[in-house]
Amino acid sequence: MRRITHWIDGVKSESTTERWGKVFNPATGQVQAEIPFATDAEIEQTIAVARRAAASWGSASLSARTEVMFSFRHLVHARRDEIASIITAEHGKVHADALGEISRGLENIEFACGLGSHLKGGFSSQVSNGVDVSSLRQPVGVVAGITPFNFPVMVPLWMTANALACGNAMILKPSEKDPSAALLLAELLAEAGLPAGVFNVLQGDGGTVGALLEHPGIDAVSFVGSTPIATSIYSRATAAGKRAQALGGAKNHMVVLPDADLDVAADAAVSAAYGSAGERCMAVSVVVAVGEIADPLVAAIAERMAKLVIGPGDDPASEMGPLITAEHRDKVASYVAGASAEGATVVVDGRDHTFTGDAAEGFFIGTSLIDNVAPGMKVYDEEIFGPVLSVARCDTYAEAIELVNANQYGNGVAIFTRDGGAARQFTFDVTCGMVGVNVPIPVPVATYSFGGWKDSLFGDAHMYGPAGIDFYTRAKVVTTRWPDPATSEVDLGFPKTR
Ligand code: NAD
């Protein structure tokens, strides 16, 4: 059986642990590798290596750091097919979707290549007689990145590109369900010229994360994952005196006003709800149908669902792959099973979809559509994270906005309409961090930052883009006086500018 390694101090490092987990091929249900959960000694060693490396990398010139980012960008782009195949083998998503996440990850490396501009400080001349003030940003030190299974390349790149470019060392703890792509990223960073020890991959589970959170050698923690873990990580990391950002789960609504183009809205709902089997934090999980568009919209979505090809991610004909584990597939199925008893209408039941051959043992489930869903039902209140789309019906725009804003999550939201005024009002009214107007999955490009509101983000630091530069650096302000030697005099008073 293949054994996954760590990546410590610039090389693959075999674990001596006695605690091992399993990495499945979700399309066949077979175990394809074993993953180590780091020992205490391995955690200590990795932190010591990272601390040493941070000291010299943090003072490397901006041009040296930028050069590594350019080379890394080139290598990830050149090897994108190979990386996508690794993602598909362990996550299960179709190859095209894996390529899509790599291209969104590449954006973050490209952003980091502009480091010279991002780290420009400010300068104020002559704030007082003979006194100038300048500001600069310096690396925070050693950053721990803890990432979820659903984007094994894109989410690590959200963190890694800026963290490294800003001069930090990093320890990435990828999801134990699909850890291999992170190891290839580590190899490519080394090939790009990153000094040994600056980027490390430590394999593990929640216990490994706990050890990182409590260790004084970690300065900042970036987390992306589910809300219960995000809230716990944020409080534990900040209680231990670390800078922390923790992005959590979601329940993303797509509001469809009566004047929307029906075909455009139905296409968008299907691709945003069932793409990557609904295992996207920005997936649309609730369509809010306003007024008389509801019946034709539900019919148009159901018609499109029937045509979706579900199969192994490495089959070019497949449009949707399996879920990540059998347990997760069964949990998703339980929401569909309970929906009727909660008062909802199951329009399409994904559990009826049958799979044959190797796929019969894989973690597949068909797509589900559930109408007449409302708050108070589990299918509405909880994040399902699978190919289940709910429809909530509202009579007016005001009811729709009230529904969306009452939800505990506030990651992404979209409105579909031909009315510019209504769309504009929506962007003001809605309490979510990322808003799409006729765009179902409004993931910001890397020159902006990513982050939800409410229980979708703990802490106030959004991820990547300008917010990422701020998170991975500390600000310093320098006040300078070069006194005229002829008039130099001592003033014991409080510092003043006049
Ligand atoms: P998860 O919370 O189970 O795991 C995320 C990471 O936390 C993994 O590396 C895991 O090993 C670690 N972990 C698990 N249990 C832990 C514990 N008790 N203590 C400390 N660490 C622990 O999430 P997942 O199932 O891998 O990913 C899916 C979730 O991530 C969904 O809720 C999804 O919405 C969310 N997500 C959010 C975003 C976002 O940007 N907001 C992006 C992607 C995924």
Q: Supply the pLDDT for residue 45.
A: 98
Q: Predicted confidence band at 91 (pLDDT cuts at 50, 70, 90)?
A: very high
CA 410 to centroid of chain Cα atoms = 14
- Closest ligand 1 atom to 210 CA: 20
Q: Supply the pLDDT for residue 487.
A: 75
Contact 286, 368 (CB under 8 A): no
Cβ 289 under 6 angstroms from ligand 1: no
- % of the chain beyond a pLDDT of 90: 96
Active site residue 166: no
Contact 370, 349 (CB under 8 A): no
The answer on pLDDT for 488 being more than 80 is: no
Contact 336, 349 (CB under 8 A): yes
Q: Supply the pLDDT for residue 484.
A: 78
Q: What is the pLDDT of residues 288-304, one digit of tens each?
A: 999 999 999 999 999 99
Residue 434 CA, ligand 1 centroid: distance in Å: 20
Number of H helices, E strands in the chain: 16, 23
Query: CA angle at residue 456 from 455 to 461, to 5 degrees?
Result: 110
- Closest ligand 1 atom to 174 CA: 9
Cβ 226 under 6 angstroms from ligand 1: yes
Mean pLDDT over the full length of the chain: 97
Residue 221 CA, ligand 1 centroid: distance in Å: 14
Cβ 206 under 6 angstroms from ligand 1: yes
- Mean per-residue pLDDT for 272-288? 98
Q: Predicted confidence band at 483 (pLDDT cuts at 50, 70, 90)?
A: confident
Q: Supply the pLDDT for residue 302.
A: 98
DSSP classification of residue 323: -
Q: What is the pLDDT of residues 445-456, one digit of tens each?
A: 999 999 999 999
- Mean per-residue pLDDT for 86-112? 98
Q: Supply the pLDDT for residue 252.
A: 98
Q: What is the pLDDT of residues 356-403, one digit of tens each?
A: 998 999 999 999 999 999 999 999 999 999 999 999 999 999 999 999
- Closest ligand 1 atom to 175 CA: 9
Q: Supply the pLDDT for residue 39.
A: 98
Contact 450, 111 (CB under 8 A): no
The full set of domains in the chain, from first to last, is: 2-248+456-478 (3.40.605.10), 252-437 (3.40.309.10)
- % of the chain beyond a pLDDT of 70: 100
Q: What is the pLDDT of residues 329-349, one digit of tens each?
A: 999 999 999 999 999 999 999
Dihedral sign for Cα 411, 182, 102, 199, please. positive
- Mean per-residue pLDDT for 237-248? 98
Contact 56, 195 (CB under 8 A): yes
